Amino acid sequence: MVEEIRNKHDEVEQTKSLTEKITDPFGQSDYTNFVEGEATQAEIGRVKARMESSHAQRQIEMLTRELDMANASKKAAEEDAARAKKLAEAARKAAVDAMEARNSIKVEPPAPPAPAPEAPAPTPKPAPAAQ
C-alpha cells in the first residue's frame, strides 16, 4: 500500500524528444534536480544546526541551574563552617576561663581538727555530813 502511494506521488518521467535533446543538450531538468538536491541538503543542515543549537541551549540552562545549586550549597557549607569555628572559639575561651578560675582558687589544707574538749573532771561528791 505504501508503495502504491509513493508511485502515485512520484514525478512522471518524461522521455526527451529529439527536439528537446537538440535544444537542451545538458538537460535543464537534470540541473534543476541537482540544485534542488543541494538546496534540500542545505535545508537539512540548517535544521540539524538549529536542533543542535537548541539542545546546547538546554544543556547550558541545566548546567547553569546545577552551578547555582552548587554555589548555594558551597555558601551554606561556608556559613556552617564559620558558625562551627565561632562555637569552637567560644568553647575554647570557656575552657581557658574555667582553667583560670580553677587555678585562682586557693586550696588551703584543711585545718587540723580542734581538740576535743576534755570532759570536766568529776567533782568530788561532798561526803555525807555527820549528824
Q: Does residue 131 have a pLDDT over 70?
A: no
Model confidence pTM above 0.75: no
pLDDT digits (tens, 9 = 90+) for 24-70: 666 667 777 888 999 999 999 999 999 999 999 999 999 999 999 99
Alpha helical stretches, state H, the chain = 2-9, 18-23, 28-104
What is the pLDDT, as a whole number, of residue 31? 76
Dist CA 102 CA 64 (whole Å): 56
Dist CA 85 CA 72 (whole Å): 20
Mean pLDDT along residues 90-98: 94
